[in-house]
Structure 1
Amino acid sequence: MGDTESTSGPHGTDNAFHALHARQAFLEGATAARPPDPPDCPFCDLPQERYPTHYDGHWVLLEPRIIVPAHTVPPRRRWIITPDGLAMNLWDAEPLPGTWCRMAHRTVCSCLQPEDSWPWATVLRQENERRSQRLFNLPEDWGLPGTG
């Protein structure tokens, strides 16, 4: 009996605890590829900012250069960076006055189905669609001046 290790944790078995964390990470959008893979969106290929989360081994892609007052972002869309460099979703917690937050890229990815009708996210999604257009996606009738 002394030669086996207990697999019980505070929430049942360790496997159940890790499965719960993995499910929660998925629900929050913490599904980014781990380093050394590039922090690019797998759907639109735009580069993002990748942060580790408090879910061990799970990373999230946050929209680059978009830092907004947390009270302007709907609940469950607010991500903050903790002092130790981890990204944390505030879920339904009311942010303290003066709190700034980030948004997960999947909320505004132009290649994913919108999760809601938040107008600000729609504008960012449209901007991401514009940014993801590559030179090789130009219309057939496009040409440089003087070439046609």
Structure 2
Amino acid sequence: MRHASAEAAGDRVAVATHPGSGDPVMATMPSPVQPEGPVLLGQVLAEALAGIGRPDARAGRPATCRACGDPAVWHRTADGRWVLIQPGGVPYHLVPAGQRWHIAGDGTAANLAHAAADGTCRITHFAVCPLGAPPKAPHLLRLWRHGAARLGRLT
């Protein structure tokens, strides 16, 4: 396929020949928009580097609890707030209604409230942080005690 290009009224016109017949094929593409005024190198570099080193939004943002030092992951909720989620899943039936969380494919955390008790769910770190109040649910209390023992808070 042979290519040629020409400028016409601010648009680029690409001309090529069809490989089978040799007939010309034309396509009009808009010219790239040129910025008004000078281009600042700092702006170009800032825009180019903005995405480097950012964690994947779907994976959440790894974190460490400031209180106890345990690893957890920050996830944004549908209303734009952030919630610190424990790593790993917990069977639904072991978590009280209202404390069941699900992480959607795009990384958004959703409180499942009174969702059906099958499969697994996630829990917030604050529900089991050993420096917080002990939870009432037996499974969450076990997780809380495990963390408290690790920190030497249980005798």
How would you bin the TM-score normalised by the shorter chain?
0.5 to 0.7
Which of 130, 140, 144 is residue 110 of structure 1 equivalent to?
Answer: 130
Give the corresponding residue for 2:6: none
Moved over 3 A (4+): 130-133
Shift of 1:98: 3.9
Q: For structure 1, which runs of at least 5 residues remain unmatched after alignment?
A: 1-34, 134-148
Change (3 A) 1:119 1:98: closer
Question: Does the aligned pair in 1 maintain the 2:78–2:108 contact within 8 Å?
Answer: yes
Give the corresponding residue for 2:85: 62
Give the corresponding residue for 2:75: 51
Give the corresponding residue for 2:29: none
- Structure (1 or 2) with the greater strand fraction: 2
Query: What letter matches 2:141 in structure 1?
Result: T
Give the corresponding residue for 2:56: none
What is the CA–CA distance in structure 1 between the aligned matches of 2:79 and 2:102, rounded to whole Å?
14
Residues 106-134 of structure 1 show CA distances to partners (whole Å, capped at 9, x for unaligned) of 111110113x421111110111123446x
Change (3 A) 1:73 1:98: same
What TM-score results when the alignment is normalised by the length of structure 2?
A: 0.52
Query: What letter matches 1:64 in structure 2?
Result: P
Identity %: 33
Question: Are 2:64 and 1:40 equivalent residues in the alignment?
Answer: yes
What is the CA–CA distance in structure 2 between the aligned matches of 1:119 and 1:71, rounded to whole Å?
11
What is the CA–CA distance in structure 1 between the aligned matches of 2:71 and 2:115, rounded to whole Å?
30
Change (3 A) 1:122 1:103: same
Query: What letter matches 2:71 in structure 1?
Result: P
Question: Does the aligned pair in 2 maintain the 1:45–1:132 contact within 8 Å?
Answer: no
Give the corresponding residue for 2:108: 86
Give the corresponding residue for 1:7: none
Q: Larger Cα Rg: Structure 1 or Structure 2?
A: 2
Give the corresponding residue for 1:121: 140
What is the CA–CA distance in structure 1 between the aligned matches of 2:150 and 2:79, rounded to whole Å?
31
What is the CA–CA distance in structure 2 between the aligned matches of 1:90 and 1:126, rounded to whole Å?
25
Greater relative contact order, per chain length (Cα 8 Å cut-off, separation 6+): 1
**Corresponding pairs, count:** 93
Mapping 1:120-139, distance limit 5 Å: 120-132=139-151
